[in-house]
Every structure is written in C-alpha cells, then in structure tokens.
C-alpha cells in the first residue's frame, strides 16, 4: 500500500475525469505521460497545475527530492534548461546536452548528484518537436523548486522539497507549474513570463545609468579614486547618475559598516559630496557571507550555518568557496540576531547615508540546497526570501536592488534588476559566453525584472568584443553601468549612452 504520494492538483478548479486532449502535434510520448498531469485552464495552449504532496502517515514527514514524472524526447530535439543561478544553464540537444555557463550544478556548485552522462537544470525546460515549441516550468518559487535531469534523451522531473515538514494525515500545497506550447519560441516564452508575473509581481522600474568601481580598480579601490571619478561624473561624464562603490570599501566581507584603511573618511563624506554634486551613490554588499577574518565572524560564530560537529560551515566544504577574502562562512537568517544585524547595516546605508542603489552579490550562498538551519522547518527558498524581506524593509520600495550571483527563480518578485550574465572579463572567450547567456535570458527583461548584463568597458578589448557588449546591452534594455576608469574610457561609450537612451525610451 502506498502511504505517501506526490500529486498535481488544479487547486480550486474542478478536475475533469478525463483530461482534455493535447494538440495533435504534441509528441506521442509527452502526450502519454502528461495528459493526466495537466488540465486546461486559460485557453487551448495553457496548462497550469498546483503541486500537492499527500502525507498518509500518522507522523510528520520531511520529503526531499520527489520524482514527479518522466518523458522521452527525440534525440535531435533542441533543449534549453535554465540554471539554478546565473552561472549555469544547459543547451544542445536531448541526446547531446551542452553546459553553456562557466559553472554547473554538479562539479562546481555541488547542489545535485548525477550519474555518468547526466545533466541537471532547474526552473524550466524548453524544447521543440515537429516545429512546435513546448515549455514545462515552475510559475512560482515560494518554498520549493523544480529540477530537470536529462540523460539519453530522457527527462526526469523532480520536485525539490528539502526542508518542508508535512503534518500527519495532511496535504502540502506547493508550487504552481505549467505546460505551454506554441509554434513560436518567443511567444511561448512571453506567455510563460506573463503567467509568472501573475504570481510574482515584478518590480519594474526605469533602468539606471552610472559608473562602477570594480572593473576599474577591483578590491584595491581607494577613496581618492572614487572622488576622481565622481568629479568626472559632474564634468565630461555628466550623463551618468549613479556612483556605485563596489567591493573593497570595507575591511572584510561581513564588516560592512567598517571602512578599510583606504577609505579613511568613511562613506559619509563621499555620499555628502555626491549629493551636493547632484549624483546618487550605490553600494555593493554580500549579505549572506562573512569572511573568517572579519570581526563579525570572530565575535559571532554562533550566527553562522553549522556543518559537521556543529562547527560553523566553511562554504568551500559544501559548494564553490568564493573568490576572495576567504574562507567564507554563511549567515543563518533563522536567527533573530542575524536579521537584526543585516537590518541595521542596510538601515545605515539607506537611512543615514541616503543610498538607494544596492548591488547584492554572492546571493547563491544564501540559497544552497541541502543546508540545515538552526531553526528547522524552513526551506532554502524561504531562507533566501526571508533575508530579502529584511533588506527590503530596511531600504524601502523606493530603492533599486540588483541581484547578482543570485538563485534565479527564488528571486522572482524581489529585485528591480537581475544579473543574467557572468562577470565581464576583458577577453573574447568570456564576452562570447556572456552573449550566449544574455540571448537565452533576453525574454526576462521587462517581464520578470530588468536584465543586467554587467558593466560596459572599452579599454583592453578588441573592437569585435566592444560590438558584442554593446549589442547585449541595447537588446537587454537594462541598466547602463560603465566599468572603465572614467579618465580612460573611450569616446564610444558616450555614443553608447545616446543609443541606449533611445532604445530604452522606445521600450517604455
């Protein structure tokens, strides 16, 4: 006797005994497997259901990865499976999938287990069969999420529920999923975005212009260099609005309100001078991590997520360990003191300094599947969204938040901007990779959030790469942030600002 089962439910809608026939062009294998899973809801091409897990036991259970159903695709069918975050996604065909991003979920992010020849993606799968495009994906991501495992043209769809507790003899209602089809790829993606927006209202806003310190000076940025570029923003680069101070202004990651010895005047003077010059300040923060060298970690190791033997978990023991100021430890937002601290940090930046542009980085480290928090009964998605609620409460709806290195679907409805490409590097291979990422995710911009394709640079790159970068930006209709030192940036970036303004005005 089966005691527990995952089912798909139409919520409050009446379920017919016999599901309606799918379109005649629908692949026979898909039809056989999915006609009992989906029910028509909006029109002849929309199928939306709610995932429900029924606990028939007389005790609480905590399901983890729950298989939903499987189907096979033609070997030559093109596939696209979204990644858990911006650095990973899958393309190619059903029989020969290709990792498109710099990282993947198995060897780099280490958030799934795979057999030989298997790949894994998240959120949605897009394919084309007999000139018809099909999209199977999650419409919501409040508590749980979907994963797709592909091997030898077979797709296994899994409901990732780790952290959910289901009381005895009760049902857990989870995320909404959908199946869409159309002869047009762009049409099926646009419809998908419209459906998502019904459940996660997007925070759409006017795209920003500005200058970012990272690709000019990296973490060795100084107060003097910030002032030098601010002066240029009030002179020859007056078209730029935001002065975005990136990593390097703080002593260590986690000690966000303690300036480094290269910022002896702190941030107060910079913010005051920028305001006097009619410019706004943006700030970079990685709210989920604390360096092992930070005062935050030394004074509050008990605020960190625990690993083996209840010691603070080093990020590198679970996933990709980070890029600098290592080792990284991970803040546990189920702890009230952690929420209070991060609220205090962002209240200082917004309320005291008047900052209303926040580039939040390393957000993946706040949403690593498989971790356990001090206070149980919370999923990885809920942990992430709780933290973002704390930050939003501190900075208000008037602030612009850019998610970077973020889990994509757990971020739905949370940010005004979302990085959809890898970090820029002044080399052809990376810029070409970014172009693939930007194109695959172009449908999201202005629908889920504003797509951010990272900073525009003109120094140290070949003309071909400059053209690729500018094309990415103009097609994204997202923010335009310059990454060169402004005294070295080429004149072509002035021309790009004019083209960008024209493109974004047309899109409004």
Longest dimension (CA), the chain: 76
Question: Token digits for 303?
Answer: 């605020």
Q: Is 422 left (phi over 0), alpha (psi -120 to 50) or beta?
A: beta
pLDDT in tens, 147-198: 999 999 999 999 999 889 999 999 888 899 988 888 999 999 999 999 999 9
Average pLDDT, the chain: 90
Degrees to nearest 5, angle at CA 36 with 35 and 38 = 70
Q: Does domain 4-199 have CATH number 3.40.50?
A: no
pLDDT in tens, 426-476: 999 999 999 999 999 999 999 999 999 999 999 999 999 999 999 999 999
Helix (H) or strand (E) holding 122: strand 119-122
Task: Give Cα separations from 241 to 207, 223, 344, 366 (angstroms).
Answer: 11, 19, 26, 30
Rounded CA separation 466/135 (Å): 33
| Amino acid 187: pLDDT | 94
Q: Which residues of the chain have pLDDT under 50?
A: 1-3, 10-45
Sign of CA dihedral 249, 253, 256, 259: negative
CB 211 within 8 A of CB 242: yes
CB 33 within 8 A of CB 132: no
| Amino acid 505: pLDDT | 80
| Amino acid 171: pLDDT | 86
The secondary structure of residue 238, as a DSSP letter, is T
3-state secondary structure (DSSP) of residue 136: strand
User: Pairing between strand 145-151 and 79-82?
Assistant: unpaired
- Residue range 209-286+343-368+377-507, CATH number: 3.20.20.70
The domain spans of the chain are: 4-199, 209-286+343-368+377-507
Q: What is the CA radius of gyration of the chain?
A: 23
DSSP letters spanning 436-483:
HHHHHTGGGBTTTBEEE---B--TTS-HHHHHHHHHHHHHHT--EEE-
| Amino acid 68: pLDDT | 86
The secondary structure of residue 352, as a DSSP letter, is I
Question: Token digits for 498?
Answer: 């004019």
């Amino acid at each position: 006797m089966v005691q527990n089962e995952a089912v798909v439910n139409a919520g409050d809608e009446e379920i017919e005994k016999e599901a309606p026939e799918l379109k005649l062009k629908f692949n026979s294998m898909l039809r056989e497997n999915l006609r009992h899973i989906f029910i028509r809801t909006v029109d002849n091409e929309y199928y939306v259901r709610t995932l429900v897990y029924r606990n028939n036991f007389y005790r609480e259970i905590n399901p983890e990865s729950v298989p939903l159903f499987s189907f096979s695709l033609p070997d030559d069918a093109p596939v696209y499976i979204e990644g858990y975050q911006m650095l990973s996604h899958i393309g190619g065909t059903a029989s020969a999938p290709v990792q498109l991003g710099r990282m993947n979920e198995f060897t780099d992010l280490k958030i799934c287990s795979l057999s030989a020849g298997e790949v894994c993606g998240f959120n949605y799968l897009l394919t084309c069969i007999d000139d018809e495009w099909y999209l199977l994906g999650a419409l919501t991501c409040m508590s749980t999420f979907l994963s797709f495992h592909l091997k030898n043209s077979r797709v296994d769809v899994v409901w990732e529920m780790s952290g959910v507790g289901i009381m005895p003899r009760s049902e857990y209602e989870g995320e909404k999923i959908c199946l869409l089809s159309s002869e047009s790829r762009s049409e099926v993606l646009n419809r998908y975005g419209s459906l998502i927006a019904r459940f996660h209202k997007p925070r759409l806003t006017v795209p920003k212009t500005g200058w970012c310190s990272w690709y000019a000076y990296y973490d060795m940025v100084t107060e003097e260099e910030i002032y030098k570029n601010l002066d240029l923003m009030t002179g020859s680069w007056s078209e730029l609005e935001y002065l975005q101070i990136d990593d390097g202004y703080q002593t260590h990651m986690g000690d966000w309100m303690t300036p480094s010895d290269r910022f002896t005047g702190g941030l107060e003077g910079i913010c005051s001078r920028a305001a006097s010059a009619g410019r706004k300040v943006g700030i970079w923060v990685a709210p989920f991590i604390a360096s092992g060298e930070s005062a935050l970690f030394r004074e509050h190791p008990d605020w960190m997520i625990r690993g083996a033997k209840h010691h603070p978990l080093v990020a590198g023991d679970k996933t990709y360990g980070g890029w600098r100021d290592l080792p990284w430890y991970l803040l546990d937002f189920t702890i009230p003191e952690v929420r209070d601290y991060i609220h205090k940090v962002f209240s200082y930046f917004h309320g005291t300094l008047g900052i209303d542009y926040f580039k939040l980085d390393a957000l993946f480290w706040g949403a690593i599947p498989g971790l356990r928090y001090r206070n149980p009964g919370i999923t990885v998605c809920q942990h992430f969204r709780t933290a973002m609620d704390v930050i939003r409460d501190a900075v208000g709806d008037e602030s612009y938040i850019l998610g970077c290195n973020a889990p994509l679907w757990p971020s739905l409805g949370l940010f005004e901007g979302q990085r959809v490409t890898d970090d820029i590097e002044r080399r052809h291979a990376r810029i070409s990779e970014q172009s693939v990422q930007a194109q695959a995710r172009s449908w999201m911009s202005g629908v889920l959030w504003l797509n951010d394709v990272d900073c525009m640079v003109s120094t140290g790159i070949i003309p071909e790469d400059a053209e690729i970068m500018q094309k990415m930006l103009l097609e994204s209709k997202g923010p335009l942030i310059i990454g060169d030192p402004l005294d070295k940036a080429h004149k072509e970036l002035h021309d790009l600002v004019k083209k960008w303004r024209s493109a974004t005005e047309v899109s409004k």
